[in-house]
Amino acid sequence: MSFRISPVWWPVLAVASPVIVPWLLIRNRHFQEDRARAAELNQERISQAEPPEMPELDYLELTVLVEWKTKEGFMGDAGVSYLFKTELGSMLYDVGFGPTRPALTHNAAKLGFNLDQVEALTISHLHSDHMGGIPAQRSRQVTVPDELMSPELKPCFLPDRAEAKGFKAELVERPQLLTAGIASTGPLARSLFMFGFTEEQALLARVKDKGLVVFTGCGHPTIEVILEMVRRLSNEPLYAVGGGLHFPVTGGRGNRAGIQFQMMIGTGKPPWQRMTDEDLSRTTAAINSASPKRVYLSGHDTCDHALGRMMRELNAETEVLKAGATYRF
């Protein structure tokens, strides 16, 4: 079992414990309060949700710009950026770490992509690996590399209040049709110990002769809650589920200075509790119960151990998303 914090740090933590322990206790109180609030709010949102008028699409195509796993020649990173295309248009979903790391710019150049090619940008949630880097998260301003920007002012659909440099920021407050025939589930909440109250929206589309396709950013509200909302919005068969599920069970991605950040800060648990194989088993069972035909796993927030287990245990045809690859639904 890997250490979430390297033993090198233990003396420092011991010396700082008179400050750290009271801070953790206060933080935990807020975390528990937010957890109850998120659960209540999600159930209220689901019970009151009205289905958006989603067109039946001839096809839905996904090209992965940023992911942890890659095709040869592409650059991997612990963030995501997905380009969705339909016969009605195109949408970019998330921008990884944006201009603060090279993956998005490198992979976009290799694919010949820029924002002239889409009608809108959608951000799943306001975390650095989805909205353009740590400075973007701190300032609550979505940031995209200048090389990819379009001179046209396009909408940026957001699940919580923020700005979007070079875009027209539009707050999504409930399930709605966005662009290209793709809808948002509306924001769903999760209490995260370090990040606080977090709102995330997933994407939803109807594909002719197949059914519903659902894609998440990190899946922080849990895929169980997301699929509960999807069922409220449509009773059509579930064809595909994809994106992040956030299962750093045995290790995290993009670790720094001997600290496994993903194992502690985005799991929905306090930092002294781990994600477990039992947690993973419950989620795997929930996905199997929903009976999708296909599952597309993100490795950006899920360890290889968890990816391997899901590949073996999910009933659906399952694969891991790779930067540079295109998938057609």
Residue 328 buriedness (CB in 10 A; 0-12 / 13-18 / 19+): exposed
C-alpha to C-alpha distance for 86 and 55, rounded to whole angstroms: 11
Whether residue 312 is contained in a domain is answered as yes
Whether residue 83 is contained in a domain is answered as yes
Give the global pTM.
Answer: 0.95
Q: What is the pLDDT of residues 86-141, one digit of tens each?
A: 999 999 999 999 999 999 999 999 999 999 999 999 999 999 999 999 999 999 99
Whether residue 1 is contained in a domain is answered as no
Whether residue 276 is contained in a domain is answered as yes
**pLDDT at residue 61, as a whole number:** 98
C-alpha to C-alpha distance for 122 and 178, rounded to whole angstroms: 8
C-alpha pair distances (Å), 1 with each of 15, 280, 305, 310 = 25, 16, 12, 20
> Smallest Cα–Cα separation from 123: which of 88, 89, 86, 169?
169
Q: What is the pLDDT of residues 118-131, one digit of tens each?
A: 999 999 999 999 99
Domain count of the fold of the chain: 1
**pLDDT at residue 198, as a whole number:** 97
Over 90: is that where the pLDDT of 264 sits? no
Tokens 């296909």 -> residue: 294
Q: Structural domain of residue 142, as residue ranges?
A: 7-328
**pLDDT at residue 103, as a whole number:** 98
What's the whole-number mean pLDDT along residues 253-258? 80
> How far, in whole angstroms, is CA 308 from its chain's centroid?
19
Over 90: is that where the pLDDT of 9 sits? no
Whether residue 108 is contained in a domain is answered as yes
**pLDDT at residue 202, as a whole number:** 98
> Residue 145, CB half-sphere, CA atoms under 13 Å: how many?
20
Whether residue 279 is contained in a domain is answered as yes
Whether residue 2 is contained in a domain is answered as no
Helices (H), 82-127: 103-111
The CATH number for 253's domain is 3.60.15.10
What's the whole-number mean pLDDT along residues 236-251? 96
Tokens 């353009």 -> residue: 132
Confidence of residue 326 (pLDDT cuts 50, 70, 90): very high
Confidence of residue 265 (pLDDT cuts 50, 70, 90): confident
The beta strands (E) that lie in the chain are given as 56-57, 60-66, 81-86, 89-93, 120-122, 141-142, 154-158, 163-164, 167-171, 176-179, 182-184, 188-192, 196-200, 203-207, 211-215, 238-243, 294-297, 317-320, 326-328
**pLDDT at residue 1, as a whole number:** 53
What's the whole-number mean pLDDT along residues 7-21? 80
Whether residue 133 is contained in a domain is answered as yes
